[in-house]
Amino acid sequence: MITIKDIAKLAGVSPSTVSRVVSGSPRISRETTAKVKRIMDELGYHPNEMAKSLVSKTSHALGIMLPRPAEELFHNDFFGELLRGIVTQSTRMGYDLLMTTVSGERDELSTISRLARGRRVDGLVLLGSRRDDPLIAYLSENKFPFVVIGRSETHPEALMVDNDNVQASYDATKHLIVQGHKRIGFVSGPPNLTLSHDRLKGYRNALAEARLESREEWIVEGEFLQESGFRSMSMFMSMRERPTALIAIDDNVAFGVLSGLAELGYRVPEDLSLIGFNNIPLAELAAPPLSSIDIGTYQLGYTAIASLIKLIQGERPHQNPILIPHKLVVRASSLHHL
């Protein structure tokens, strides 16, 4: 078995110098570092990561708190694209990822506490936030490095990577208004999520600006699943005065709307115009192709990791929240002129 002493002897340096090379110390010259690493490679020596962690008090790992219910993650292409950005940047920066989820709110704090206090990870990524989020409160109070992909209302000092969701939803609603629609509905997400609150606000702002009516019965809450969109259709289409256009908070929800309308015998955009969010690849392949707000999902994940690693290294962002630009991608589902 090859040891640090063997490497040191062949390199003509002390064992402590080899240890510093292994831990990435800047005190060792480039020439010596390159020589030690070349010998390590030639001998097939791999440092004990656990021992490195104990010495440096870092794990070189990041934790990701997956959303509840966890099945959303595997039924929604948005999370796949978000994780692609997270994994790409983590790999480039040499960090491992530890993903965790829990079955209920009661287990969340104990899971987060175990990861943070046990130093199993150097920082945490929260995929979204609730309007009064106990996880954000706990991590902020304990000064543990973390980043929220979303926005925290109660902890503005928290590191956040987000879109301007109020403006994005305003843009979607404004597009439908320009198309001639006066009765516009909204299929929202869980009301306790900041994302749902912000997108509803943008929708209401656009209606108010155009002096159009905003009816509570034209707003339906649900989960980020196709079933939510599907179930909402029987309710919307049975109304005496139903909306002529809908905004779905997520493309997956919009697909459910399309399925529900088809089952009821209605057509898009002839009977109902539709816009989604996230612009996942399947949006272009829908029948008809789905208009959607592109929120830069990959960039959200990539930027969140880059920002978190900088925070771990003691660097604060120049702006907070860090906003990723959005754009409206118009396709056939919203182009019917009344």
**Splitting the chain (338 residues) into consecutive groups of 10 residues, what average pLDDT does each group show?**
83 86 78 89 70 56 79 77 95 90 74 81 90 89 94 93 98 97 95 95 98 94 89 90 96 96 94 97 95 98 96 88 97 81
Beta-sheet strand order (sheet of 96-100): 96-100, 61-65, 123-126, 146-149, 159-162, 322-323
Residue 268: CA count within 13 A, CB half-sphere? 30
- Of the candidates 33, 35, 43, the one whose C-alpha atom is nearest the C-alpha of residue 1 is 43
3.30.450.90, 3.40.50.2300, 3.40.50.300, 1.10.357.10: which CATH number matches 165-295+327-334?
3.40.50.2300
| Distance in angstroms (rounded) separating the CA atoms of residues 121 and 318 | 25
Is residue 107 classed as helix, strand or coil in its secondary structure? helix
Burial class (CB in 10 A: 0-12, 13-18, 19+), 289: middle
* pLDDT recorded at residue 131: 83
Compute the distance between CA of residue 328 and CA of residue 235 in angstroms, rounded to an integer: 27
Q: CA 51, 52, 54, 58: dihedral to nearest 10 degrees?
A: -150
Burial bucket for residue 16 (CB in 10 Å: 0-12, 13-18, 19+): exposed
Topology classification of domain 61-163+297-323: Rossmann fold (3.40.50)
Residue indicated by tokens 């796949």: 80
Domain with CATH 3.40.50.2300 in the chain: 61-163+297-323, 165-295+327-334
Overall pTM surpassing 0.85 (yes/no): no
pLDDT score, position 66 = 82
Report which of 260, 126, 242, 143 is spatially closest to residue 195, judged by C-alpha positions. 126
**DSSP for 55-77, written as a single string:** HHT---EEEEE--SSTHHHHH-H
pLDDT at 130: 85
CATH topology of domain 4-48: 434 Repressor (Amino-terminal Domain) (1.10.260)
Which amino acid is located at 248 in the chain?
A
From the list 97, 91, 8, 14, the residue with the least C-alpha distance to 45 is: 8
CATH 1.10.260.40 occupies which residues in the chain?
A: 4-48
What does the chain come to in residues?
338
Helix ranges (H only) for the chain are 4-11, 15-22, 30-43, 49-56, 71-75, 77-92, 105-117, 134-141, 165-178, 194-209, 226-237, 251-264, 297-312
Task: State residue 57's pLDDT score.
Answer: 57
